[in-house]
Structure 1
């Protein structure tokens, strides 16, 4: 219930409470009735559905980050990456900014500045003669962290709308996948000097496993007797997680050529941390030289890139993930249905697999009956068009 307080000056202050019990002033007035009326009116507003305390929006982004960040449920690798983004890019600009005062214009200006500013190279130096700017995809990752934080602030009813959405950035162009021919892959494999490195490449292109799935593969999931591999784990380089991408265990056939170079390690625990602390029943199939999980960047720089150059394929800009694309393209070229390819790759939706559709052989068998001669001639499809001499215009 609203009330009034008489001040030493002889004026009156109207008082009321928020829904949480906090006291608030409705201002000071010369007369007690005016002070009470103002307090009653203010109290009525805060009791209406959907009322928001306008002072909450004065919370700064830095203060909100301390509340929002611990509530996030994200992977450790993602957390490490986003902590770096917050420390290096978001905090310097938005730490002291009240949430309610962040405008879309301000965010757009900040994002544009991230795009055009000259950033330091690996040696920490900024070269004014040869400016180095961030890629749009990098700025988008930075912006997405701010978007996530402000979306949470909307959900917490601190701000009404998210000012970081619909920010305009140049389009990001994903690098198109590379599909090797069998001859190209044979040249690449032959250019790899180490047998175990060659074994890993053969396994990747022969099974379609992702790098993280192959490097998390344990001996107990490699069934050479029945020529089958069970994909049930994945690694981000720091720990073993008990599910592959898509969270579905899958079984992939093995072929002799894909394991010819493989030397099976001794059956001992892998020594890598497992998510949920479950015990490790066997060692890794492809451990690093000193134990533990292999690093994809090290493998690319030490093995893949030199081999590509030696094989005359350096201009392809091939990545380790392109070996998975190559596996799928070989399946499609030999007529394996997209649904089966999706199962082997562990895709949750066949839509993802449709990027390989253009490799499927094109025949007329499936439509031959529907397109039978309407004049009553035989239904079958001939192997060539009789009397074909080239297209010509009808005059």
Structure 2
């Protein structure tokens, strides 16, 4: 965050979004309302905002306050969804990995539908109608993300004392999403994928190996720090993951050696094992991975997303291979960090021989009884 030549106007270059080949810039203004310092987002340069325009907005805010009108942030109980979003973005979302995707979701869908409405004026029926309209154009998963984002904004405003009232999303059922990946790689496909990635990006080939050999989610891999890699005991400590902290054994020697080298290259215990050229955490999947999968033709002619190969397919491959080799489901669930056994049951269809072996014990027991 840095000052501009306009009083009370600041600009913040983005680390992950571009505009005209350069980092996009977001403009903010600051002023006092009833003795309290207010910090308000105005908008992005890519949206047409400039420092001069932000200065004009600030002048309006100051003029309104001088004549007895509170700023949008000062009207507790009368916040519009747009006001609440500005606070949420400023105080909570800014700088987080999901900032860019959440901001796009809000700008394209939530703002047109609810932006000018007061928080207290949004009814469950309004959200239900919005859900149905969006489902006609987008996948259930995207709609679920949008409703979840709106719910988080309401909850944060309530937690911060900016809103007192019902949260209208509570009584609206979320769309049912079938996220179960059906496609997993054969050993030959896995080798081809890693080799093709290594020719274009050693980093993403190594990231892929961790997912294949340890079953980690992408975000878990990118969040690994040097202190999480225990080479002596051949363990990975997956901290603060989606379903809690867990420890995963490192069974593959090649994987251990790769992680040992990457850990040795870290400058400190909290340095990220996989980082970008600036030494910072990577937040998104590289387009290199997408292009390699496309070039290998894994998704040629496939329209059902459950059958498409994506990076998450590597984690699903890990679980599928475990199941095919008769590893108990509860062990697979613990290794993969599943919160419920229901999530692991999808792999049960891949171990029919285990079921046959289990049933054979009944036959053996009956035969032993007859012999007596």
TM bucket normalised to smaller? 0.5 to 0.7
Secondary structure, in 3 states, of the residue corresponding to 2:292? helix
Task: Give the Cα–Cα distance (whole angstroms) in 1 for the partners of residues 76 and 175 of structure 2.
Answer: 31
Partner of 1:362: 354
Partner of 1:330: 321
User: How many residues are aligned here?
Assistant: 285
Task: Give the Cα–Cα distance (whole angstroms) in 2 for the partners of residues 261 and 68 of structure 1.
Answer: 43
The one of 233, 236, 261 equivalent to 1:230 is: 236
RMSD, matched Cα: 4.3
Q: In structure 2, do the counterparts of structure 1 residues 368 and 294 end up closer, same or farther at CA, with 3 Å as the change threshold?
A: same
Partner of 1:244: 241
Contact 2:210 2:255 in 1 (8 A): yes
Partner of 1:65: 84
Q: Are residue 313 (structure 1) and residue 298 (structure 2) matched?
A: yes
Question: TM-score, normalization: structure 1?
Answer: 0.56
Task: Give the Cα–Cα distance (whole angstroms) in 1 for the partners of residues 164 and 270 of structure 2.
Answer: 50
Secondary structure, in 3 states, of the residue corresponding to 1:191? helix
Task: Give the Cα–Cα distance (whole angstroms) in 2 for the partners of residues 223 and 88 of structure 1.
Answer: 44
Q: In structure 2, do the counterparts of structure 1 residues 147 and 245 end up closer, same or farther at CA, with 3 Å as the change threshold?
A: closer
Q: In structure 2, do the counterparts of structure 1 residues 344 and 162 end up closer, same or farther at CA, with 3 Å as the change threshold?
A: closer
Task: Give the Cα–Cα distance (whole angstroms) in 2 for the partners of residues 65 and 339 of structure 1.
Answer: 43
Deviations 1:103-161 (Å, cap 9, x if unpaired)? 44444444444455xxxxxxxxxxxxxxxx433432333233444556789999955x6
Partner of 1:345: 336
Q: Structure 2 unaligned runs (5+)?
A: 1-74, 301-306
Secondary structure, in 3 states, of the residue corresponding to 2:264? coil
Q: Are residue 293 (structure 1) and residue 281 (structure 2) matched?
A: yes
Contact 1:231 1:244 in 2 (8 A): no
Deviations 1:60-89 (Å, cap 9, x if unpaired)? 534983898499977934566555544554
Task: Give the Cα–Cα distance (whole angstroms) in 1 for the partners of residues 155 and 273 of structure 2.
Answer: 43
Name whichever structure is richer in helix by fraction: 2
Displacement, 1:189? 2.5
The one of 74, 97, 107 equivalent to 2:117 is: 97
Name whichever structure is richer in strand by fraction: 2
Secondary structure, in 3 states, of the residue corresponding to 2:244? coil
Q: Are residue 135 (structure 1) and residue 132 (structure 2) matched?
A: no
Contact 1:268 1:283 in 2 (8 A): no
Secondary structure, in 3 states, of the residue corresponding to 2:354? coil
Question: TM-score, normalization: structure 2?
Answer: 0.59
Task: Give the Cα–Cα distance (whole angstroms) in 2 for the partners of residues 323 and 267 of structure 1.
Answer: 26
Q: Are residue 281 (structure 1) and residue 281 (structure 2) matched?
A: no
Contact 1:57 1:98 in 2 (8 A): no
Which has more radius of gyration? 1
